[in-house]
Structure 1
Amino acid sequence: MRAVHKRYLRELFPAMFVYVALIFLSVGWLRTLEGTTARTVVTLLPVLPVAFLIRAMVRVIRDQDEFERRIDLEAIAIGGAIGGFGFFTYGMLLNAKVIPPPPPEAVAIWVLPVLLGSFGVAKCAVRLYYRSR
Structure 2
Amino acid sequence: MAEPVPDKLTPVAKRYAREMLTAGVLYSIVVFAGAFATRMDLPHWVIVVAAIVPIFPALLMLRAYITFVNGVDEFQRRIQSEAVMIAAGVTGFGCFTYGFLEEWAGFPHLPLIWVLPILIGSWGVALCFVRMKYK
- Length-normalised TM-score, structure 1: 0.89
Structure 1 residue aligned with 2:111: 107
Give the fraction of aligned pairs with identical amino acids, expressed as a percent: 38
How much does 1:98 deviate?
A: 3.7
**Letter matched to residue 60 of structure 1:** F
Alpha-carbon distance between aligned partners in 2 of 1:92 and 1:8, rounded to the nearest angstrom? 38
Note if 1:40 corresponds to 2:48: yes
Q: Deviations over 1:22-60 (max 9, x none)?
A: 111111111214323211111122111101000001111
Quick check: 1:80 aligned with 2:74?
no
CA distance in 2 between counterparts of 1:64 and 1:81 reads 24
Amino acid of the residue matched to residue 130 of structure 2?
Answer: V
Gaps of 5+ in 1: none
* RMSD value, Cα: 1.3
The structural deviation recorded for 1:14 is: 1.4
AA at the equivalent of 1:128:
M
Given the alignment of the two structures, is residue 126 of structure 1 paired with residue 130 of structure 2, yes or no? Answer: yes
Of 12, 20, 28, the match for 1:4: 12
The Cα offsets for residues 108-128 of structure 1, whole Å up to 9 and x where unpaired, read as 101111111111111111011
- Distance in 1, Cα, partners of 2:89 & 2:23: 26
CA deviations on 1:44-78 (whole Å, 9 max, x unpaired) are 22111101000001111111100000000100100
Aligned to 1:66: 74
